[in-house]
Chain A
Amino acid sequence: MKKINTLKAGQEFFLSGTIYTARDQAHKRLVGAINSGKRLPIEIKGAIIYYCGPTQTPRGKIIGSCGPTTSSRMDAFTPLLLAKGLKAVIGKGARSKEVREAIRKYKGVYFVTYAGCGALLTKHVKKAEVAAYGDLGPEAILKLEVKDFPLIVAIDANGGSIYD
């Protein structure tokens, strides 16, 4: 896990390990819980969040199509989560100045993955289960075990960005 802090913007990285999916409503709830002093349903310290809401899981498969959603919609929530120890996020597209600054400050990383390639990315998911907020349907937080999940560093721990 230490290794990802040393990556540079533009570098490719293949991630193996545990990641959590979370998108708009899950972020709203996580940040709402932090602001009202409640316990979070997942351990945020050291966690990696993937902005993703997969399709339903077809019979006989581990997960349905599972590509990234637009990261900028999570911009308002990301700095606080990074302050609470979130290690890295995965999504698609550009981020706000505030997010970039928070990534630099807390030594996080923002990765992008192959956008619009949700079918192909299923190959890298070895396990998927609901971790929290199951009532949110496709926006529930899922715990995923991934293997060689293909990523590109978009903003590195020093604030370097591929979008400059």
Chain B
Amino acid sequence: MRKIEATKITGAVIGLVRKASFFLRSDVLSALSKAYRAEKNIQAKKILRAILDNAAYARKQKLAICQDTGLPVVFVEIGQDVAVRGDLKEAINKGVREGYKKYHLRDSIVSDPLSRGRSKSPVCVIHTDTTGGEKIKLTILPKGFGCENKSQLRMFKPTANIKEIKDFIVKVVKDAGPDACPPYVIGVGIGGSADYAGIMAKKALLRKISSRNLKLEKDLLRQINKTGTGPMGLGGANTALAVHVQTYPTHIAGLPVSVNISCHALRSASVTL
């Protein structure tokens, strides 16, 4: 069995914090550039230009793309034939703590959600999954909360039709309106349980934005962009850049649908150790 030191994981997480916070994902940049080129609304075009300029300036100046450097969500895929020497969770949390400090990112985490006490040792949300082999894949998604606040879950009846589901997803985006920094990327999880649908919706944001999409995704994107919310809610044809749907088997009695919205600053980074 392969062995890996926890300190190596901490180091890798520090690197991911830097990469995700300063360098906007290339697929997101491409999608924004495409939106900028296609946008006809003058004000929307101007805002898209500013968003692209912001990404370039952040990269050059080593400034956070957005001041909301997020609640760090870390996905771990750990091979069954690798053992971590040390505490895996603590290694990840330490990487986040040190990375946020080192790169002057905002510590947006309160240690208690009710008392709102400031955190001395910020932690992240960690989702761990096992796979075959002896590698560990780490992915960080620093999730801004302006958009996280607009997430919704609905438990549909199993007899619900596709139109009802689509209407719900579009309504969630409409409800977010201009508040969550459009153009958005919409992650949707359909099936599983209430919690699993939520994780799928979040994971869907990690998928590379491309032109290869399901018919359902294309239909939803078209419908969402017809709402006319546009960048900063000032109109235009680009309310969302992409819709990503993930599905999973579910129970005969139900049909969970979870929608997770990402702002245009969709940041994530991965490394395989």
Contacts and interface: CB of A to CB of B under 8 A. Distances in A.
Interface in A145-163: 152, 162-163
A58 B166 CA distance: 44
B105 A56 contact: yes
Interface in A97-143: 112, 114-120, 122-123, 135-138
Contacts of B64: 55, 64-65, 118-119
Nearest to B176: A93
Given A72-B179, A94-B233, A118-B67, A56 B104 contact: yes
Interface of B is mostly: loop
A66 B67 contact: yes
The range of chain B's interface size is 35 or more
Interface residues of A, number: 38
Interface of A is mostly: loop
A55 B54 CA distance: 15
Contact of B149 (A57, A64, A70, A112): A70
Contacts of A59: 104
Given A53-B67, A58-B104, A65-B63, A116 B116 contact: no
Top 5 A-B pairs, shortest CB-CB distance: A93-B179, A119-B58, A117-B54, A65-B64, A56-B104
16 contacts: A55-B69, A55-B106, A61-B61, A65-B63, A65-B64, A67-B68, A70-B149, A70-B180, A112-B178, A117-B66, A118-B66, A119-B57, A120-B53, A122-B61, A152-B234, A163-B233
Interface of B: 47, 50-51, 53-55, 57-58, 61-69, 103-108, 116, 118, 146, 149, 177-181, 232-234, 263-265
